Amino acid sequence: MPESLIAGIPVHFPFEPYPVQRAYMEKVIHCLRDGTNGVLESPTGTGKTLSLLCSSLAWIRTRQSEHQMQMVKMEKADFSGIGGVAPGGDLSELAKTMGRANNWGVPKVIYASRTHSQLTQAMRELKRTAYANMRSVVLGSRDQLCIHPEVMRELGNSNKTNMCKLRVHSKTCSFQMRVESRKDHPDLRGPTIMDIEDLVKVGQRLKICPYFASRELVPQADITFMPYNYLLDPKARKANKIELGNTIVILDEAHNIEKICEESASVQIKSSDVAMAIEDVTHIMQVFASGESQDMAGDEPKDFTLDDLTLLKEMLLELEKAIDAVVVDNVVDGTTFPASMMYELLGKANFTYGNVASIVSLLDKLVQYLLVASQQMSIRKGGTFTLLSDLLTIVFANKEDVMSKVYASFKVHVLVEESKQGHGKQQGAKQQGGWLGKGTIAAATGSSKVAKIINFWCFNPGFGMEQLLNTQVRSVILTSGTLAPLKPLIAELAIPVAQHLENPHIVDQSQVYVKIIGTGPDRQQLISNYANRDNPKYVSSLGQTILNVARIVPDGLLVFFPSYPMLNKCVDAWQASGLWADISCKKPIFLEPRSKDQFTSTMEEFYQAIRDSKGAVFMAVCRGKVSEGLDFADRNGRAVIITGLPFPPLKDPKVILKRRYLEANRTRENQLLSGQEWYNLDATRAVNQAIGRVIRHRNDYGAILLCDSRFKDASQVQQLSKWIRGHLGDRPQCSPFGPIVRELRQFFKNAEANMKLPDERETDSPLETVCKTEDEPLAAIPKVKREPGSNATFKSANESAIKVEMANSIKTWTPADYASAAGRKLGGAAPNAMDFMSRLDSNVSSIDFNCCTDSKSGSSGLVKIHKRERSSPTAPESTSQVSKKRYKLVENIKVEPSSSQAKEAPEERAAFLRELRSLVTQDQFRRFGKALLEYKNGTYESFQALMAILLEVLSAPKVRYMLVGMRKYLKNEHKEEFDRRVGNL
């Protein structure tokens, strides 16, 4: 690989670095060399991760080489003395031993990012470099790495963690016990860089625990990959035994670092948690008193006594009483108290700095005890004890000598907890009016004993960073594609920064098209503020804008909404009006799912649609998974539409308190943002992150369309990324829609003509073999098992038929295809009964296109081919035989399909409307949508109008299943009449 000298360090880079990459690596090396901190912004697509890894590891390798030379000099000095004995030899040996133990003073790198998928991408980049042979390891949770079947059956990460601890402590996990003997196995310590999946595979192969095996690799690793919370959360850092002395901490994707720091120092406890903890302690005390504890835990001595339990229960009862006494003035939004209230609340229950360590230890022991007990009886596994332990650990993590800073940075916010029905044995005396009862909030507002949620919120991210800096780290580097403006970030984190950088983008002006669209095609203003977002004209105009852009943009189009409610509102309106169907005709539409399982499959379907069709539209939400870390390079994302500014909820208590905190602590010296500036910046950073999904590398190109007139405001423009501001100019204005359409079309025409074609993905579509055209050779069809004695004609037809079965489509079939299937002798060997062509081998009266069974069995379809008796084409000429077969397509005489084969309407509303739109005309669909909207809030007359349209549009046999499917969308009082009228058809 090419070698470049950057800041005096030889850096091996996969190619000759661009100027922005050289500038970035120079800043990184200066931070490492001088032991200072840096805040570095470089837009997505500029090779930020690659530059970060190459520069930091090049500096590490240089330091390692220098220390190896020092070792050689020390060894030579050992033999320079008289008789080969060096003066002070014992001291020299001691120095070498200490040097090896401390890695000769060479710092290690900790690379942290937000998610494991981002860490996997970084490790993939590392494999491309000349530093792929340096020792690396990734840390994950037990949920990701554990391979013990019983532990993995536990629900929830907390239960898995506690069950794992129990098995390790009792020496009943064979996977963990093998780690010590096999930790030096070449498969584990080999030169290959292993991500989470690789570690799991190696663990399964060697029968060792990947979780504990990865921890064994940390001391020798040059670079360790881990999620943010392992570093910034004191509990996680302690649990994972992460040593930060003389380390280089790299926080990639650090645009959310303030929120993560605040959340790591915040905690919540509910009244119901305390109540259940009291029940759990009581249950354990009853077990102790009855002598059952010996049966449940064997003869092992307990780590706690009955006196410990009695004391803990008294403290929890006092805590319950103290929470009961808290008065919530505002039942809807909650009441805010100073941070001192949390310490007073815990103090009333005798939780103090002096005893908190012993109480946390007792709670951890109780969790382990309940895990054992839960194996033999139906009992909770100590989750409430874990919550209490977290509460005490976080609240008392702040030392007594910094309490004035704590009082300024924290607030206690108390909300009313919604009452739930009791669970199992929890029902009892408290069921009537207690925390676990059925009462409603409204019924309990008159009493202070209503259940409550106590939030201890941190609004100063500097707390988390201060704890990190106090661990004697060498350097902290914060980097992302969207950190600007840098000064407020540095001020909030209260971190001394010697190096900072705002890089321009790596692409030319001609590769990016950026415009602010202030009005839609109908000249309706596009502004997604609170007053306008419910305006039907605005929602319709936004849909028309997306439709027109979808007609022009090739391949992938990303559309980001400010929130999920806004996304759902637009989707409902567009489906009712027919706009959704119009967009779908141009490109298939995918919506961002909220569940983890659906997310992966939806993304793969989107990528598949890009490869196989004319493109696709992906509608997602700012701050969602799609906007934060996914790659939409090249064809996957040619344009991004931002439909509005994703401001935080204005009346959310946490948002209100954050703004108050900034206003109260802002000074000219600390350069903190005002509350309003922070509010605007939080929205703009989410926009910057969503915009970064499109331009992913040097040869990429795309369009960025900001569909909200507020983007022209100077306060919003200044907070956009520097490279975006360069495209908008000094005084950006909203552009008319007509010229934008012309310019956008010309932009993509020029880009496609001048830009290098992207490399196609190597992975083949699973449906590759069924997407071939008819004139392609049959070699593309998978080999099939042919029947002995079959002639060539039948073989050809047989393979062609398998092709149809795989495609589940009859669009490319003609009667000529069936004519070629009639050439086998009647006495020949019969093909497999499951074969599609077996239907052609018997003297049938019709061929059913839509069913795999013989038509004689009573099945029916939509089309049949009636034909004469077959005869062998090789038989001698006979006047009694017909010389030419004739095929006639006739309408199927059976209307109603059999119940076992009846086609059913899609269950989901979106899929139902999409299929309906494909079956009817545009005018019919618009009339249907209008009638459906009137019926939703209408009377019996609106039902009659809807039925008239349904019977007109969906009474034909081929779409009757959609008419039946409409039943579930009708009101209960109308279903009986609907059934009667449909039955009369």
Residues paired with 248 in a beta bridge = 109, 475
Residues paired with 618 in a beta bridge = 558, 590
Whether the Cβ atoms of residue 721 and residue 685 lie closer than 8 Å to each other: no
For 92, list phi and psi in degrees, rounded to 5: -65, -45
CA atoms within 13 A on the CB side of 30: 16
Whether the Cβ atoms of residue 943 and residue 847 lie closer than 8 Å to each other: no
CA atoms within 13 A on the CB side of 134: 23
Tokens, residue 510:
């001609």
Which of these, 631, 628, 638, lies nearest to 688 by C-alpha position? 628
Tell me the H-state helices in 820-967.
909-919, 922-936, 940-954, 960-965
Tokens, residue 978:
């609907």
Tokens, residue 85:
């004995």
Cα–Cα separations (whole angstroms), residue 248 to 112, 174, 475, 482, 596: 11, 35, 5, 22, 33
Alpha carbon distance 666, 491 (integer Å):
10
Angle at the Cα of 12 from the Cα atoms of 10 and 15, rounded to 5 degrees: 130
If one counts every other C-beta atom within 10 angstroms of the C-beta of residue 320, the result is: 18
Cα–Cα separations (whole angstroms), residue 294 to 288, 374, 382, 598, 933: 8, 14, 19, 46, 67
Alpha carbon distance 432, 438 (integer Å):
7
173 is in an annotated binding site: yes
54 is in an annotated binding site: no
Alpha carbon distance 982, 985 (integer Å):
5
- E strands in 238-366: 247-251, 267-270, 335-338
Angle at the Cα of 904 from the Cα atoms of 901 and 910, rounded to 5 degrees: 155
Whether the Cβ atoms of residue 323 and residue 355 lie closer than 8 Å to each other: no
If one counts every other C-beta atom within 10 angstroms of the C-beta of residue 830, the result is: 14
Tell me the H-state helices in 15-128.
19-34, 48-78, 89-101, 116-127
Alpha carbon distance 595, 237 (integer Å):
28
**Burial of residue 405 (number of CB atoms within 10 Å: 0-12, 13-18, 19+):** middle
Alpha carbon distance 235, 249 (integer Å):
18
209 is in an annotated binding site: yes
AA identity, residue 501? L
Cα–Cα separations (whole angstroms), residue 172 to 61, 346, 430: 42, 38, 40
Edge-to-edge order in the sheet of strand 639-642:
512-516, 702-706, 639-642, 555-561, 615-621, 589-591
852 is in an annotated binding site: no
Alpha carbon distance 171, 175 (integer Å):
10
Angle at the Cα of 212 from the Cα atoms of 206 and 217, rounded to 5 degrees: 85
Which of these, 246, 228, 257, lies nearest to 35 by C-alpha position? 246
Whether the Cβ atoms of residue 395 and residue 267 lie closer than 8 Å to each other: yes
Alpha carbon distance 770, 805 (integer Å):
9
Alpha carbon distance 95, 86 (integer Å):
14
Q: Which residues are part of a known binding site? A: 146, 164, 173, 209
Q: Which residues are part of a known binding site for [4Fe-4S] cluster? A: 146, 164, 173, 209
